[in-house]
Amino acid sequence: MPMSQSNPRALPLRWQFVHLVKPYWNSERKWLVRGTVGLLLLLTLAQVGLAIWTSYWHRELFDALEARSLDTLLLQIATFALIFALTMLVTALHLHVKRRLQLDWRQWLTLKLLDQWLTHAHHYKLQFTSGEHDNPDGRIAEDIRIATENAITLAHSLVFSLLILGTFVDILFKLSGSLALPGTDIVIPGFLVLLAFLYASGGSLLGLLLGRPLTQSTNRLQTVEANLRFGLARARENSESIALMHGEGIERAYAGRLFADVGQGWNRQTVGYLGIVSFSAGYGALLPVFPILVAAPQYIAGTMSLGVLMQAAQAFQRLTSALSWPIDNLGELAKCKASADRVASLYNDMLQLEERERLPVEHRIELGHGRANELVFRDLCLANPDGEILVERLDATIHRGERVLIAGDPAVTIGLFKAVAGLWPWGNGKILLPDDAGVVFLSQHPFLPDGSLEAVLSYPREPGHFSRAELHHALECAGVTWLAPRLAEIDSWSRVLPLRAQQCLGIARLILHQPPWVFLEEATDAFDPKGEDYMLEMLCRELPDSTLLTISFHPGLEPHHTRKLILNRQAEPRFLSCASELCALRKG
């Protein structure tokens, strides 16, 4: 099988994009999509028909003016009113159908990439994967828009130009007559058609040569623009921390460097535009005059009427414009290609992640389900994405109801946290999750979605799933009863609340959901020792049958756990016993 069929990723990016979007035109909605495309084509044919009608109307108008016929002039005014009305109607319908198709295609492609990006934690794993996928949010939001909108606009203009080319070649050939070369017997029929092809070919060739630097400079500019947007968004998301540390100067300097890159990219694109724009200006200024000057001798000789002369000049312009489609759309082609390449590159890297997930188990961490009420690590090896071993030969079984404190090297302990969550495939070995229920993970910075406080506590369930009494009880257990009057209030809670209150809400969410397995990653490190003691005592009381795995580097938490697992880089994992009288007392 050819490489292009067996492995689409071996193709150039532009063809990878074609392979990516091809299913849209053959999906279960294909008849609706194809019907929309067919309607768009019919409206394009109507536009071409109106252009032909307008060409003959110009001929009749100038003939009426030359004949000084008022009756014919009034008839042409009435005819133009009809052409004018039909042109507005067809243009409006065409715009509506085209934009509907653009939006539908963009929606389909956006959802396709979102499904890939937000599946199996690809949005997280991409951060540790090599490849061209920087600013994936910008590629999904902006580059898909540019690629789909421009592709349809360019396709329409190309079809329109080809139809104009096919019709106005015949019109111009009939109007231009023949040209006899002086001093020879050579006669060139339809000489204006030949001149139109020579004029457009010469212009396109020079334009392509002058506009060659534009594609690379456009691609580079879009990349640095996305970097600037991402940098500013990062500063906005961390505005409180930056303000507290008085880091505005550093952030301003960083944003200045990002904008300097934008300036360089803009200047390179400006250089790319200079040649093509200067040439296009001269090319366009000469276009309306050139055919009149060439055909003027026939009009002066009386072999061509004024109407025919003006129709021939307009047909020449139409034909030349159609032939000049590549040069006229060079900038949009470059922009569309750059965005399509960025979308295809992101999709390609996500496919590589999927392929890694299908690798033989000796090349990745295998995540599966085992017996009920057990979390099992079998010959587990954790590694960095670059292959560096963090820890190996971890064999352990944790039973339902145990309390295990995990300490040691933060890179290793947090790597284990992510591996159990399915976010860390690097390494090998096996993790068997309990078959009776899933594991709930609570990180150092719990996710608090924007919305009502009730929605924050109920997440990932919908607001209203828990009663008010349950919500109040959870807040009381977590020590944030003062937030109870704000349950219906909508705010950005991760921004307005300090980290300690955010961690309290994360723990309150555990009390509400009553998960049988809980994995905590420094989820109480914002508390003082007494506060941590209270939280662990409370969790033992409120979740008496739940398994608690706690990543923490505070030795004072040992009394709340039955075992302690020590993980250090490239060292043998060790289990120690902990004093568990306090937790056992709470369970009893």
pLDDT digits (tens, 9 = 90+) for 263-285: 988 988 888 777 777 777 777 77
- DSSP 8-state code for residue 492: -
- CA-based diameter of the chain, in Å? 118
Q: Give the pLDDT score at 159.
A: 92
Q: Identify the H or E element spanning 197.
A: helix 191-210
Q: What is the dihedral of CA 510, 515, 518, 524, to 10 degrees?
A: 10
Environment class of residue 83 by beta-carbon count within 10 Å: exposed (0-12), middle (13-18) or buried (19+)?
middle
pLDDT digits (tens, 9 = 90+) for 523-556: 888 888 888 888 888 998 998 888 999 988 887 7
The answer to whether 288 touches 317, Cβ cutoff 8 Å, is yes
Q: Give the pLDDT score at 585.
A: 40
Using DSSP's 3-state secondary structure scheme, residue 180 falls into strand
Domain architecture of the chain: domains with CATH: 11-355 (1.20.1560.10), 364-573 (3.40.50.300)
pLDDT digits (tens, 9 = 90+) for 214-248: 767 877 887 888 888 888 888 887 776 678 777 88
pTM over 0.95: no
- State the pairing for strand pair 374-383/427-433: antiparallel
The answer to whether 452 touches 438, Cβ cutoff 8 Å, is no
Q: Give the pLDDT score at 13.
A: 67
Q: Identify the H or E element spanning 99.
A: helix 70-117
- In 3D space, the residue among 445, 470, 432 whose CA is nearest the CA of residue 521 turns out to be 445
Q: Identify the H or E element spanning 487.
A: none
Using DSSP's 3-state secondary structure scheme, residue 161 falls into helix
Confidence of residue 178 (pLDDT cuts 50, 70, 90): low
Q: Who's near 535: CB < 8 A, 6+ residues apart? A: 478, 479, 507, 524, 527
pLDDT digits (tens, 9 = 90+) for 145-156: 998 999 999 999
Quick one: average pLDDT of 130-146? 81
Q: Report which listed range, 82-91, 196-205, 378-387, 428-437, is most confident.
A: 82-91
Beginning with the edge strand found earlier in the chain, give each strand of the sheet holding 439-442 in spatial order. Answer: 439-442, 517-521, 547-551, 403-408, 563-567, 574-577
- State the pairing for strand pair 427-433/574-577: unpaired
Q: Give the pLDDT score at 361.
A: 60
pLDDT digits (tens, 9 = 90+) for 438-487: 788 888 888 888 889 999 999 888 888 899 999 999 999 999 999 999 99
Rounded distance between C-alpha atoms, residue 341 and residue 352, angstroms: 16
Rounded distance between C-alpha atoms, residue 479 and residue 502, angstroms: 11
Rounded distance between C-alpha atoms, residue 177 and residue 267, angstroms: 48
pLDDT digits (tens, 9 = 90+) for 58-110: 888 888 888 888 888 898 889 989 999 999 999 999 999 999 999 998 999 89
Q: Give the pLDDT score at 360.
A: 66
Beginning with the edge strand found earlier in the chain, give each strand of the sheet holding 389-399 in spatial order. Answer: 365-369, 427-433, 374-383, 389-399
Q: Is the pLDDT of residue 581 over 50?
A: no
For the stretch 265-270, contacts whose Cβ atoms lie closer than 8 Å and that sit 24 or more positions apart, written own/partner, are 265/217, 265/220, 265/221, 265/223, 265/224, 265/225, 266/221, 268/213, 268/217, 268/220, 268/221, 269/214, 269/217, 269/218, 269/220, 269/221
Average pLDDT, the chain: 82
Q: Is the pLDDT of residue 579 over 60?
A: no
The answer to whether 425 touches 449, Cβ cutoff 8 Å, is no
Q: Is the pLDDT of residue 2 over 50?
A: no
Q: Is the pLDDT of residue 353 over 80?
A: no
Confidence of residue 509 (pLDDT cuts 50, 70, 90): very high
Q: Give the pLDDT score at 583.
A: 45
Q: Is the pLDDT of residue 430 over 80?
A: yes
